[in-house]
Amino acid sequence: MSDTFIPISAVCKKLHTTSRTLRFYEEKGLIISDRITEHAPRRYRESEVVKIHKILLLRSLDLSLTDIKELLDEKDILQALKKRKRQLVHQIEKDTELINRLESVDHTSFQSHITDTNENSTIASINSDEELKQIQEMKEISYQMTTHLINKEYNSVISLFAEELRGYLSIDFFKSMWESTLIESGEVINILEAVPSKDYIASVLIHCSITDLLLKYQLDQNFYFITIAINTIEL
């Protein structure tokens, strides 16, 4: 590939991104720009523009900048895409199963079930109370986790994990999460209430000055954190 240089403005227009994003990637050592003089606009070799395109593609798949640094080899990128595809297919299968279960519910039998004997009604009420309690616990612990993460209180974040999981975590991991994702969001304006969903997943929306973030927490039935995923939502 030739050493033709492309101005940063043209790169942004071609790849539908911003100069701020490219400068951030450069600060993180992902890409290299070229300048004729110290105060001249940035420009990029064609080979670097190809790399930028790959980075933007991987970011659209919710991969962190730390992971992207390790995946800029073309073979590894293809493997990452295949892995992401398998995850999406698995989620689609789960959603399809739920849809089929909902469609199989007969209105008459459903009404009969919920208006059954007083004993069954009492059991249903107890289950409902337990579910409400679990939902409230999910909301509270997810909100706490988000607050600690935003305030860079990494030790407090780790303390919310089950004791047997803490040994596998490090402050550097959460620092990296902050630097690779949260720092791009601009100033934090507020943290909205956590919203639990099915399969012990709770989502928390962080409203920021530049980019909103959606944090998803996956817990097990004992409310031990399993994973944390952060998605950016462009305003």
**Residue ranges of domains in the chain, CATH in brackets:** 5-72 (1.10.1660.10), 131-234 (3.10.450.590)
Is residue 146 exposed (0-12), middle (13-18) or buried (19+ Cβ within 10 Å)?
buried
**Considering Cα of 88, then 91, then 95, then 96, what sign does the dihedral take?**
positive
The model's pLDDT over 37-92, given as tens digits with 9 standing for 90+, comes to 778 889 999 999 999 998 898 888 777 888 788 888 767 677 777 777 787 788 88
The model's pLDDT over 84-94, given as tens digits with 9 standing for 90+, comes to 778 778 888 87
Full-prediction pTM beyond 0.75?
no
Which two structure tokens, joined as six digits, stand for 74? 């073309």
